[in-house]
Structure 1
Amino acid sequence: MKSIRKMSLLLLIMTFILAACGDSGSTNKAEEGTTTKKDEKVKLTVWHNFAGDDLRAKAVRGLIEKFQADNPNVELDAQAIPPDGYRQRLSTVAAGNELPDLFFVYAGSHSAELYKAGLLQPITEVVDQNPEWKGKFLPGAFDPFTFEPGQVYTAPIGMSATSILYYNTTLFDKYKVKVPTTWDEMMTAIKVFNENKITPIALGNKAPWVAQSTIIGALGDRVTGTEWFKNAAAQKGAKFTDPEFVKVLNYFKELSDKKAFQDGANSIDNTQAEQYFIQGNAAMMVSGAWTLTNLAASASEDQMKNIDVTVLPSIPGGKGEANTITGGAGGGLALSKRTEGAAKEAALKLIYAVSGPEAQKAIAESNSMVMYDTDIDKAKVTSLYYKAFNLVKKTTITPVYDAYLSAEAAEVVNNGLQEIMTGGSPESVAKKLQDAQARSVTP
């Protein structure tokens, strides 16, 4: 009996000791938690591709740096990765589910694929908390980033306008050429400039996305209309082997056959083409809004004052509208599914800092298009940007092909346009594109 009583007493003492230890631990953790919430810095990682010396890249980096200065409690690790390698690097970390807290995503298939992989979380709360800001985005701005009803996954930092027709007014006046509004007028302009040893259209298609992004989408929409393209991309009731799309490729072939582009267009890059154009060697160039920021950084106002902008000409019998430019919402910062707590709060705050009203104005005044209704100071932008800014405001935006095509299909059409420029068959390119898109859509 004595041994049993001793053992019971021992067990009772041990119970009190363990309970005391448990209480002590709980008190310490609560105190530590209070200290962490109040005093500890929040770590936040950000990846973006605004790594260049163009004015927009500098403006966005400046907004991120201002956020850091205004929020000293946030320990910010911001990495600027050059655009050429950005998507591949992001794909690599996404495959290992090791994405940073915030990362720049492109509108279209890029952000959609990340969403489908379960790697994103919505930013709806910061959008809904700022209704006046939300209401000033242009129509369709959030569409590429709304993957389920009522849930927004990023706010666009800029606007992608990819098929602006730039033209040199001095050359058009000198050779008495009408700025083309119809396909026949475009063919006449090409003929006259070639006869006078002036390149009609500057093109730098070494990176083969250029012809697709700047020319083929706009031509395609004029011929087929927007709905047909979206159906073909979804493989619902339309195929890229349909006669209307082969017709699109034949219009592109006609440009190439009529020597619209300078010799070696597939061996020079887009920046070289911009310089070739601004130096007066070409009468026209079909390019995107990025050219505005590039020329603002590299060309003189004397060079730019002779440049004007318009849209590509209409196509006879086409099903699409004439007064359109391909493009849409630009990319924005997306939020990793894994980011929680104080880091998530800081991340949402940074998203607003780089895409809020003041940020949109700053980016617009860096000679870069925004999908936001903002006023800009004419004195802060180039004359060329101001013309383009007002042109885009009054035109309809239609899809860029690679924003809807799978990565494989986009590569096929990009390379296919190079093939057509070197004698390839439009029918063959159409067949390869159809096969590639069908593989990506069919389960």
Structure 2
Amino acid sequence: MRKSLIVTLVTTVSVALLAGCGSTGTTGGTKESTAPKTTDAGKPAEKVKLSIWHNYTGEDLRAKTMREYMEKFKKDHPNVELDIQGIPPDGYRPRLKTVAAANEMPDLFVMWPGVMTKEFVAGDLIQPINELLDSKADWKNGFMPGSFDDFTISGKTYSAPMALSPTSILYYNKEIFNKYSVQPPKTWDDLMKLVDTFKKNNVTPIALGNKAAWVAQSSILSSLADRVTGTDWFLKAVDQNGAKFTDPEFVQSLTYLQQLGKAGAFQEGFNSIDNTQMEQMFAQGKAAMMIDGGWALPNLAANTSKEALANMAVTVLPSVPNGKGDPNSLSGVVGTGLGMSKKVSGAQKAAAYELIYALSGPQAQKAILESNQLVSYKVDLDTSKVSSLFADVYKMMSTVKKTPVYDGRLTSASADVVNNGLQELLMGGKPEDIAKKIQDAQAKAVGK
């Protein structure tokens, strides 16, 4: 249960697409190197203004940690007038896209690898941080293999990841399972039987909070569809080269998801609550299961008793009949990092480098891990610092393969069509019709 598990996960990075110290000090044997300085030696620090946008607005341990370290940076850098804006997660991406369209990006901002990075580079909105990474080689080399892949375009790296996010963990309540003498599902038939058993006993089988639409896509479909189609098919469909979203195997994956909805696997009103409310519902024992990402772990650790956490367990989604994908896998992504606006320069850029390092350097990575958030940095876990549930997930990660998350590979426009389509699907829409909408959107996006 040490760093080998993160090596296993990050080495298989195949996707695109959730803190640190307030100084440039290092830990874990990492040597201090020549980071960009805000001033020449002996001269007073030049006053600079710097804006940063983030989505760490919740009361989970990681969000609190990140906010604390941003405030510490302000205190430790009186020459930097830091304008911090926190935007709730569900509204963050739309807000960022709006300012991107107007070319009014904040100086620094939390951004996702993969598609978002590619789109911002294509729009000439951000600048690489290779200079910072190269100036601190020990820090750069402390990341696991593949960590920078989806932040790198044409040899230029635009961010350093601050997390690692499996997106499709099946959480279950051991007390409820024991009460009805059932086991975690290994096959799709097992899952459907569980749904039936819980329904008959007036227990919500699976909590779902799909108000923001991305939850069903990121946490359920990305992994479920990979079980059916296999990863190679999905990557071909993304490129529109040898596979289409109207192919029978993808329609079948939509049919499986709809089968859960029709069987009453989710509570009524699942499209009217968000993922935080979903997590609360599961934590309170109001549902037997929840399919959610690793981002739930800091929230559960902060807001759930040790007894309740000890009653939770984790596994992967079940296999499907004749599936082409590896059933011992989780969809997942290297986590978000700080992007830097193309407009940042001079002393402002030097200050921005210091803040990036403060929030993603070695001490930051250790703090993030101890806030119950996986990272793609070489740091061992002291299990006494985290919840028992997080320790279980940490251990599980060493045994599974990582597969792509849909909105990490699809264009933003196509991902929106998937998200909206899944809401329609779970309300009774035809799988074939929704598949065609997704296919048309992706074909248009890639010009085919």
Of the three residues 323, 330, 333, the one matched with 1:328 is 333
Cα distance in 2 between the residues matched to 1:95 and 1:394: 41
User: Residue 248 of structure 1 aligns with which residue?
Assistant: 253
Deviations 1:73-112 (A, max 9, x none): 3332222222233223323333333322211112222222
Deviations 1:392-419 (A, max 9, x none): 2432221111112222221222122222
Map 1:284-433 to 2 at 5 A.
Answer: 284-433=289-438
Quote how far apart the aligned CAs of 1:370 are: 1.6
User: Residue 23 of structure 2 aligns with which residue?
Assistant: none
User: Residue 99 of structure 2 aligns with which residue?
Assistant: 93
Deviations 1:352-373 (A, max 9, x none): 1111111011011112222223
Quote how far apart the aligned CAs of 1:298 are: 1.8
Of the three residues 239, 242, 249, the one matched with 2:244 is 239
Return 214-223 or 364-373, whichever deviates more: 364-373
Q: Secondary structure of the equivalent of 2:330?
A: strand
User: Residue 19 of structure 1 aligns with which residue?
Assistant: none
Relative distance call for 1:138 and 1:34 in structure 2 (3 A) is closer
Q: Which has the higher helix share?
A: 1
- Taking only the aligned residue pairs, the percentage that are identical comes to 55
Cα distance in 2 between the residues matched to 1:162 and 1:68: 33
Deviations 1:228-278 (A, max 9, x none): 111211212211001110111111122122222122222222222222222
Of the three residues 195, 200, 207, the one matched with 1:190 is 195
Cα distance in 1 between the residues matched to 2:145 and 2:190: 32
Tell me, yes or no, if the aligned pair for 1:108 and 1:404 is still in contact at 8 Å.
yes
Tell me, yes or no, if the aligned pair for 1:157 and 1:330 is still in contact at 8 Å.
yes
Return 257-266 or 84-93, whichever deviates more: 84-93
Cα distance in 1 between the residues matched to 2:333 and 2:70: 24
User: Residue 29 of structure 2 aligns with which residue?
Assistant: none
Cα distance in 2 between the residues matched to 1:215 and 1:350: 35
Tell me, yes or no, if the aligned pair for 1:100 and 1:336 is still in contact at 8 Å.
yes
Quote how far apart the aligned CAs of 1:44 are: 2.2
TM-score of the pair, normalised by structure 1: 0.87
Tell me, yes or no, if the aligned pair for 2:90 and 2:212 is still in contact at 8 Å.
no
Letter in 1 for 2:307: D
Unmatched runs of 5 consecutive residues or more in structure 2: 1-38
Deviations 1:47-86 (A, max 9, x none): 2222222211111122222223333333322222222332
Deviations 1:13-50 (A, max 9, x none): xxxxxxxxxxxxxxxxxxxx999964432332222222
Quote how far apart the aligned CAs of 1:391 are: 1.6
User: Residue 18 of structure 2 aligns with which residue?
Assistant: none
User: Residue 284 of structure 2 aligns with which residue?
Assistant: 279
Cα distance in 1 between the residues matched to 2:403 and 2:442: 20
Cα distance in 1 between the residues matched to 2:393 and 2:425: 30
Of the three residues 116, 119, 131, the one matched with 1:113 is 119
Return 242-251 or 343-352, whichever deviates more: 343-352
Tell me, yes or no, if the aligned pair for 2:330 and 2:402 is still in contact at 8 Å.
yes
User: Residue 60 of structure 1 aligns with which residue?
Assistant: 66
Quote how far apart the aligned CAs of 1:142 are: 1.1
Letter in 2 for 1:418: Q
User: Residue 275 of structure 2 aligns with which residue?
Assistant: 270
Cα distance in 1 between the residues matched to 2:423 and 2:97: 26
Cα distance in 1 between the residues matched to 2:94 and 2:273: 23
Tell me, yes or no, if the aligned pair for 1:214 and 1:286 is still in contact at 8 Å.
yes
Quote how far apart the aligned CAs of 1:435 are: 0.7
Deviations 1:129-180 (A, max 9, x none): 333322332333211101112x211001112221000011111122111211
Cα distance in 2 between the residues matched to 1:189 and 1:265: 19
Tell me, yes or no, if the aligned pair for 1:156 and 1:371 is still in contact at 8 Å.
yes
Quote how far apart the aligned CAs of 1:300 are: 1.2
Would you identify which runs of 4 or more consecutive aligned residues in structure 1 move more than 6 Å? 33-37
Letter in 2 for 1:363: I
Quote how far apart the aligned CAs of 1:346 are: 1.7
Of the three residues 137, 140, 164, the one matched with 2:146 is 140
Cα distance in 2 between the residues matched to 1:281 and 1:342: 53
Letter in 2 for 1:397: K
Cα distance in 1 between the residues matched to 2:268 and 2:110: 36
Cα distance in 2 between the residues matched to 1:419 and 1:45: 38
Relative distance call for 1:276 and 1:86 in structure 2 (3 A) is closer
User: Residue 161 of structure 1 aligns with which residue?
Assistant: 166
Tell me, yes or no, if the aligned pair for 1:141 and 1:328 is still in contact at 8 Å.
no
Unmatched runs of 5 consecutive residues or more in structure 1: 1-32
The count of residues paired between Structure 1 and Structure 2 equals 410
User: Residue 175 of structure 1 aligns with which residue?
Assistant: 180
Quote how far apart the aligned CAs of 1:314 are: 1.5
Cα distance in 2 between the residues matched to 1:346 and 1:433: 43
Tell me, yes or no, if the aligned pair for 1:47 and 1:104 is still in contact at 8 Å.
yes
RMSD between aligned residues:
2.1
User: Residue 28 of structure 1 aligns with which residue?
Assistant: none
TM-score of the pair, normalised by structure 2: 0.86
Matched, 1:49 2:55: yes
Quote how far apart the aligned CAs of 1:221 are: 1.0
User: Residue 208 of structure 2 aligns with which residue?
Assistant: 203
Cα distance in 1 between the residues matched to 2:80 and 2:238: 43
Cα distance in 2 between the residues matched to 1:93 and 1:252: 35
Tell me, yes or no, if the aligned pair for 1:190 and 1:258 is still in contact at 8 Å.
yes
Tell me, yes or no, if the aligned pair for 1:233 and 1:437 is still in contact at 8 Å.
yes
Cα distance in 1 between the residues matched to 2:40 and 2:278: 59
Cα distance in 2 between the residues matched to 1:142 and 1:367: 22
Return 207-216 or 87-96, whichever deviates more: 87-96
